[in-house]
Amino acid sequence: MSRSLNLSNFPPSADTIGFSARDHYPDIVFMREMLHPPGHSRRTDSTRDVMVPVTESLPKRILSIFMEIGFLEALGEAAQSESRIISRAATYLQLIGRRFKQYWQSYPCDQSMDLVAKHSQTRNWHKSTVRCMCWHPQCFKLAVATIDDTVRIYTRKPGVTPILRSSLQKAITCLAWRPHTGGELAVGCQTGVLIWSVDPTSQITRPLSQAVHLQHGRHQPVTAVSWSSNGELLVTASINDTHLLVWNVDQQRCVPMHRVKLPCALVSYAPLGYNMIASTIGRDFYLCTVPPERVTRVGWSTANGSLQSFAWSRDERHLLFVTTDDMQLFYMRLSGLKSASYELAFPLVDLDQKTTDDGLTIGGKAQSIAWCPQDRFLAISFKTTSAIAIFFTNLTGLQINIDPYCLIFGAGVEYPSCMCYQENYQQEYNTDAQSVLTIGWSSGRIEYYPL
């Protein structure tokens, strides 16, 4: 086991590595003016005058709000009625409904998406130009979701960029490519999950078929999606549901897998498919085995805050994670590969804020962590500082050694919004680099860093 580390252990003159152009990699920059955030008016001066305001009747407004938002919100609209009887009845029913909801739900349910932003892997999710990214596990294909509820697919063909857009695709939170398929993508969002099928040989920018919409009861917004290693099952989590759902996507059917005390914010299959991790909006998180093994579930609790981000080693024997309230990188070691049995977690690296020799502040509470497919380089981004800390990791049996490697800074005042590693880099290229870290900067720029 390595010695105790903190961010002051980085080389004083750690060089910023990276490149702005590389063969095969698309040059991606999202200018804010090119995108239309949700709710942004797209009318021009020439069309504004022809838009005539329409006054809807109260029943129509109530029905519309009920269909789009919910029952209690519709009662709130009815309470604004000029009719004294309707207003009083709606107010009384709304009061009863709220009390029943508080009794039925033992957790804070925030429908305003603030809870999504709090538990998102993306920094400043509400306003981030780049909401999330995901590399295909087997081929050169990068999916990027932006603030305008659009997903763009980038390949080696610079002239063809498929665009995935739907009226159901609102407030995108997460992406996951289906393994062993050329172009099936799961998009988690405010209304559930959309499954897109993108023809890998198509020369058009719009899919020929519409997305399959998966939704189940109150299981929305969906905040995490993850495919099983064989691509047969999809597991989803929602901050508004205490159940994890396991979907047979081909049949469009789901089965609640586990019910826990609090809604789950994150969920993920482990790389080999033997285990699964799920974290709640509270201090609890769970490690589970999955069929065909005997299903077991082991509960854990953090000392402070909830699980913010985690990363598995490829053999599932090592788990790294950070929490919302601690400035520490924690480590857990697996005792039995198919039993979800891990030893107690302990702090591996102190992430407390430090100041470099150049006067730059680094560290603090972690936003996201990503471990490269070869288990060699660990990247950590932070909630309030702009540097990404890269650590070199070495796994020997059940032991882990970790050492500072370098710091990555953006251009000017930009900070990393989200990041991920290219899954299939080593299989496709014969270069000195072992991995490529892909970073979505707050400026809307996508950059690739070989490590």
The tens digit of pLDDT for each residue in 95-149 reads 887 777 655 554 444 455 888 999 999 999 999 999 999 999 998 999 999 999 9
Residues of the chain by 3-state class (helix, strand, coil), percent to 5: 15, 35, 50
DSSP state of 287: E
Q: Which pair of structure tokens corresponds to residue 181?
A: 């398929």
Taking residue 48's Cβ as centre, other Cβ atoms within 10 Å add up to 9
Q: How far apart are CA 80 and CA 90, in angstroms?
A: 9
pLDDT at 11 over 80: no
The SS3 call for residue 284 is strand
Sign of the alpha-carbon torsion through 123, 124, 128, 131: positive
Q: Which pair of structure tokens corresponds to residue 67?
A: 């269909």
- Rounded to an integer, the average pLDDT of 309-334 is 93
The residue ranking higher by pLDDT, 121 or 427, is: 121
Q: Quote the pLDDT of residue 201.
A: 63
pLDDT at 166 over 60: yes
Q: Quote the pLDDT of residue 69.
A: 59
Q: Are the beta carbons of 386 and 415 closer than 8 angstroms? A: yes
Q: How far apart are CA 131 and CA 2, in angstroms?
A: 35
Q: Residue type at 46?
A: S
Q: Residue type at 36?
A: H
Q: Are the beta carbons of 363 and 351 closer than 8 angstroms? A: yes
pLDDT band at 262 (very low <50, low <70, confident <90, very high): confident
Q: How far apart are CA 257 and CA 249, in angstroms?
A: 15
What's phi and psi for 342, nearest 5 deg? -120, 150
Taking residue 84's Cβ as centre, other Cβ atoms within 10 Å add up to 8
Q: Quote the pLDDT of residue 292.
A: 59
**H or E element at residue 97:** helix 84-104
Q: Are the beta carbons of 324 and 306 closer than 8 angstroms? A: yes
What average pLDDT does the structure give for the chain? 83
- Rounded to an integer, the average pLDDT of 233-260 is 89
pLDDT at 255 over 80: yes
Give ∠ CA 149-154-158 in degrees, rounded to 5.
125
- Rounded to an integer, the average pLDDT of 35-56 is 48
Q: Quote the pLDDT of residue 203.
A: 58
pLDDT band at 368 (very low <50, low <70, confident <90, very high): very high
With left for phi above 0 and alpha for psi between -120 and 50, is residue 45 left, alpha or beta? alpha
50 burial level (CB within 10 Å; 0-12, 13-18, 19+): exposed
**H or E element at residue 380:** strand 377-382
The residue assigned the tokens 């005997």 is 294
Q: Would the pTM of this model clear 0.85, i.e. be above it?
A: no
C-alpha distances (whole Å) from 119 to each of 69, 115, 124, 343, 443 are 22, 6, 11, 25, 22
Q: Quote the pLDDT of residue 88.
A: 86
pLDDT at 338 over 70: no
Nearest to 170 by CA among 154, 205, 194: 194
Measured in residues, the chain has a length of: 451
The residue assigned the tokens 């990041």 is 419
Q: How far apart are CA 337 and CA 126, in angstroms?
A: 38
